[in-house]
Amino acid sequence: MPEPSDQLTLRFTPTLDGARIGWESVAGGTRRSRFVAPYASDVLPTVLKALDAAQRPGYPGVGPDVSAEEVQHLVRAGLWEADRVVPEVHRRVGQRLYAALIEDRDGELALRLARESARSQGKSLTYVLRFPPEAVDLAALPWEALWDQRQALLLSRGGRQLDALERYLDLDEALSPPLPAGHTLHILALAPHAGIPPEVRDAERAARLQSWTALQDQGLLTWDELSPVTARSLDDRMRRGPTPDIIHYYGHGSYDNGQGSLVFDSEARGSRYELVSAGRLAALLGGMRLMMLFACQSAMVTDGLSTGLFTGVAPALSAVAEAVVAMQLTVRVTAATRFSEVFYGELARGQAVQAAVAEARRSLYVLESDGASWYVPALYLRTREQRPLYLVQPSVEERRPLRGGALQPERTPPDHQGHPNGGASSPAATPEGQPAALTGDASSPAATPEEQPAAPAGGASSPAATPQGDAMRQLTIQERGQLVELLLACPAMQDSHQRGSALDFLEAHVRSAIPRHAQSRADVLSIVTTCNNYRGALDALLDGVRFFDAGTVAMQAVEDFWKQKQ
């Protein structure tokens, strides 16, 4: 199983000159900072045009036209030299965005504490950006290109995994129900002909099918393809079924006059293509698990004076899909093909969606001599839970037994009152330390006390779901609440760093299953709730607290409580 990633959440509240940012992490707690946008709203579209120009392999011979006024904007921003956009434009923009982010001391401290904590533990760091729907200018900034004094943040590696960045929309809407255990994912590939040379379309298809075959051999997915693609043919396909779980689109995209669109083939006489708006796409494709949009400018959002964030294709579709991967700028054919190849290959190896995106970004940076495309893909997520999202169940790492036998959860955990649930086919069946599946659970927010580890895709027949034989005594919800209050009185559980040291007494697969929170009470509640589902885990947790707090009045109260429950 991949090592768990630390998380740093940034919550944006727009202001006239930028935003107020709420920072949340286990290492730094909760902090607030002021962010002044590095580019004015009338200059930002020109900066994005400069980044887009650098994606054209023939630039400056080919590329977007730049007016005299735009040249002046770019000169003042340090992005125009020798009658062209500077070759390292993505690095300069990323450095200026990073400088603006840490200009407020509280922001700099929050970021530094989170990064140092992750590195000291050999973990990667996931940056979670949460935008309200009206935050158009903030969402338009190329956050994936953040670059400190030495390197790009998303090209840093903590442990075995790269750092990652994911964008969330703050929407008060429930997710769709999870896929049933054993469900075979189905992909619908959309390959319009409009503007795509046959040889390019064939090369992209060959690359993705090579990765999909590995998943198909595992019985994890099937696929069908629609090409050419018209609005009518897609509507007929969606009504006819089967309903796909994933949409893979390879074609052109457009962002013009405040409206994001994908380019479909046209049925009208004399017209080769049709622009299909984000609103129409959302109506056609709502309810997907994952959307992969390999289209020029499919993730771009600009010109927010009178429009909302939903004018961009990716943000619009992320309101109705669990995850959307889309391009912020013009994407090179070679980059799109390589990204597709690596992304699906990583999924086949059991990586999470976030980790697969990060690895595909790294591959683009390594293979391109100018390193211009790695930050272009943007990942949008719509879920209440901030955790890895899996399409393929990851392999379970080998475990060493703890005192009293193997440390494994019951196949069917008790209900909230401690009573046994139904048989092995219950949806609540808990695998050994498995992260949540891509679909999540609409009824289980991350901080909910009753949260259980998610069921594996393989169902009850999975090796991870092997029962222990005899019943496991679990705490009721009231007893868990009492234990949380007692633990919060212990010094070892009051400090976030010492709390992490106490958790080192847990098996690795149990630690990785715990959703962590910046707020102490929510974090301890999550720790107790997760440990409650694994045989021997609460004993191991108390061993960790006892190591630091033995002999204290608070620890004696915990000991007395625990003795009564045995």
Residues ≥6 apart with Cβ < 8 Å to 242: 186
pLDDT tens column, 208-225:
888 788 778 877 788 999
Tell me what pLDDT residue 173 has.
Answer: 62
Tell me what pLDDT residue 115 has.
Answer: 92
pLDDT tens column, 323-362:
889 888 877 878 888 888 888 888 777 778 888 898 898 8
pLDDT tens column, 485-497:
899 999 889 877 7
Token pair 């018209």 in the structure block, residue: 230
Q: Evaluate if residue 366 carries a pLDDT over 90.
A: no
91 by Cβ neighbours in 10 Å (0-12 / 13-18 / 19+) ranks as: middle
d(CA 181, CA 459): 5
Tell me what pLDDT residue 93 has.
Answer: 96
Tell me what pLDDT residue 217 has.
Answer: 84
Q: What angle do CA 57, 58, 61 make, to 5 degrees?
A: 155
pLDDT tens column, 402-436:
333 333 333 333 333 333 343 333 333 333 333 33
Pick the CATH number of 185-381 from 3.40.50.1460, 3.40.50.980, 3.60.150.10, 3.60.20.30: 3.40.50.1460
Query: How far is the CA of 496 from the CAs of 142, 148, 388, in angstroms?
Result: 32, 27, 22
Tell me what pLDDT residue 420 has.
Answer: 39
Mean pLDDT, residues 559-566 taken together? 88
d(CA 359, CA 378): 13
DSSP structure class, residue 113: H
Mean pLDDT, residues 474-479 taken together? 86
Tell me what pLDDT residue 421 has.
Answer: 40
Q: Evaluate if residue 5 carries a pLDDT over 60.
A: yes
Q: Pick 384 or 359 by higher pLDDT.
A: 359
Token pair, residue 528, equals 């107790």
506 by Cβ neighbours in 10 Å (0-12 / 13-18 / 19+) ranks as: buried
Tell me what pLDDT residue 300 has.
Answer: 67
Q: Evaluate if residue 71 carries a pLDDT over 70.
A: yes
Q: Evaluate if residue 264 carries a pLDDT over 90.
A: yes
Whether the CA torsion 170, 171, 174, 175 is positive or negative: it is negative
Tell me what pLDDT residue 302 has.
Answer: 63
Q: How confident is the model at residue 394 (pLDDT cuts 50, 70, 90)?
A: low
DSSP structure class, residue 459: G
CA nearest 475: which of 401, 399, 532, 403?
Answer: 532
175 by Cβ neighbours in 10 Å (0-12 / 13-18 / 19+) ranks as: middle
Q: How many CB atoms lie within 10 A of CB 149?
A: 7
Tell me what pLDDT residue 464 has.
Answer: 35
**SS3 at position 161:** strand
pLDDT > 70 in the chain, percent: 77
Tell me what pLDDT residue 311 has.
Answer: 63
d(CA 166, CA 318): 12
Q: Evaluate if residue 10 carries a pLDDT over 80.
A: yes
Q: Pick 505 or 111 by higher pLDDT.
A: 111
Q: How many CB atoms lie within 10 A of CB 384?
A: 19
471 by Cβ neighbours in 10 Å (0-12 / 13-18 / 19+) ranks as: exposed
Q: How confident is the model at residue 310 (pLDDT cuts 50, 70, 90)?
A: low
Max CA separation in the chain (angstroms) = 85
Mean pLDDT, residues 80-88 taken together? 92
Whole-prediction pTM value?
0.63
Q: What is the chain's Cα-based Rg?
A: 25
Mean pLDDT, residues 254-280 taken together? 84
d(CA 403, CA 433): 18
Tell me what pLDDT residue 312 has.
Answer: 75
Mean pLDDT, residues 49-57 taken together? 85
Type of residue found at 290 = L
Torsion of CA 436, 437, 439, 445, to 10 degrees: 0
Type of residue found at 111 = L
Tell me what pLDDT residue 79 has.
Answer: 96
d(CA 273, CA 256): 16
Domain boundaries of the chain, sorted by first residue = 6-169, 185-381, 401-566
H or E segment and range at residue 215: helix 198-217
pLDDT tens column, 528-548:
989 998 888 999 999 889 888
Spell out a b/e string for 445-456, using b for 16 or more CB atoms within 10 Å of the CB, else e: ebbbeebbbbbb
Q: How confident is the model at residue 190 (pLDDT cuts 50, 70, 90)?
A: very high
Q: Evaluate if residue 31 carries a pLDDT over 90.
A: yes
Q: How confident is the model at residue 246 (pLDDT cuts 50, 70, 90)?
A: confident
201 by Cβ neighbours in 10 Å (0-12 / 13-18 / 19+) ranks as: middle
**Cβ atoms of 226 and 262 closer than 8 Å:** no
Q: What angle do CA 287, 288, 289 make, to 5 degrees?
A: 120
Mean pLDDT, residues 232-249 taken together? 92
pLDDT tens column, 125-156:
989 999 887 787 888 899 999 999 888 998 87
Residues ≥6 apart with Cβ < 8 Å to 90: 51, 54, 142, 145, 147, 371, 372, 375
Q: Evaluate if residue 507 carries a pLDDT over 50.
A: yes
Tell me what pLDDT residue 331 has.
Answer: 79
| Out of 42-56, 94-108, 143-157, 457-471, least confident range | 457-471
**Cβ atoms of 271 and 257 closer than 8 Å:** no
DSSP structure class, residue 248: E
Q: Evaluate if residue 401 carries a pLDDT over 50.
A: no
Q: How many CB atoms lie within 10 A of CB 57?
A: 15
CA 90 to chain centre: 22
| Out of 11-15, 280-284, 289-293, 313-317, least confident range | 313-317
Tell me what pLDDT residue 387 has.
Answer: 67
Q: How confident is the model at residue 52 (pLDDT cuts 50, 70, 90)?
A: confident
HEC per residue, 189-201: EECCCCCCCHHHH
Q: What is the mean pLDDT of the chain?
A: 78
HEC per residue, 483-515: HHHHHHCCHHHHCHHHHHHHHCCCCHHHHCCCC
Tell me what pLDDT residue 407 has.
Answer: 35
d(CA 11, CA 139): 12
Tell me what pLDDT residue 95 has.
Answer: 96
